[in-house]
Amino acid sequence: MAFVFFAYFAVVSIVAGILTVALKNPVQCGLALLALLLHVSGLFVMLNAEFLWAVQVIVYAGAILVLYLFVLMLLNLKTDDRYFHAKAPYLLAPAAIGLAYLLFLLVGSPFNGAKGDASPAAILMNGDAHAIGIKMFSDYLLQFEIIGVFLTGAIVGAIVLAKTPKSIETRRDA
């Protein structure tokens, strides 16, 4: 049963990823990206990461994607005739060969390592959010604070960048 769900989430996220890159209309690309994000969040549930599932749905699908769609609608883009790079067909074959070789290497690799202390049973005892919170606010507190400062800076920078320049305003008044 788990395999059926994994196959569904994996296949749909890959197809949605390809559609995001291949579709012509930017709004359709955004909707394909939405499908990708939701199915990737499904993969997180398969991996016992319920908190990341919620964060993915709320932050990615809820905030970031809405921002993309908002800007797309705001700019009211006309679809270009040339929406791919001129040499795109020549890039496809090397990309496919490189990806096939990479997959061959990855699937053959053993991927072993030292096990940590967060076994699925230990996580399920108090829930995933509890486990992440304990770790985040003890070992990773400094990084958490840095991310907070980073996000503040990003928001301030975005507002400053996207603000209407003053010179245009005064020119319009004159």
Partner 1 sequence: MIPLSAYIAVSAVLFATGLLGVLIRRNFIIVLMSVEIMLNAATINLVAFSHYLEAMQGQIVALFIIAIAAGEAAIGLAIIIVVFRGKISTNVDEMNLLKW
Minimum distance, C-beta of residue 174 to partner 1, in the bound complex (Å): 19
Closest separation in Å from C-beta 108 to partner 1: 8
How far apart CA 100 and CA 93 sit, in angstroms, is 11
Between the alpha carbon of residue 154 and those of residues 98, 120, 136, 150, 157, the distances in Å are 35, 35, 22, 6, 5
Q: Which is nearer to partner 1, 91 or 125 (CB)?
A: 91
Q: Which long-range contacts (CB under 8 A, 24 or more apart) does 148-154 make?
A: none
CB of 173 to partner 1, least distance (A): 18
Cβ partners under 8 Å of residue 101, min gap 6: none
Closer residue to partner 1 (CB): 125 or 157: 157
In the bound state with partner 1, the residue whose beta carbon lies nearer, of 159 and 174, is 159
Residue closer to partner 1 (CB basis): 139 or 174: 139
Q: How far is the CB of 164 from partner 1 (least distance, A)?
A: 8
Q: How far apart are CA 25 and CA 118, in angstroms?
A: 44
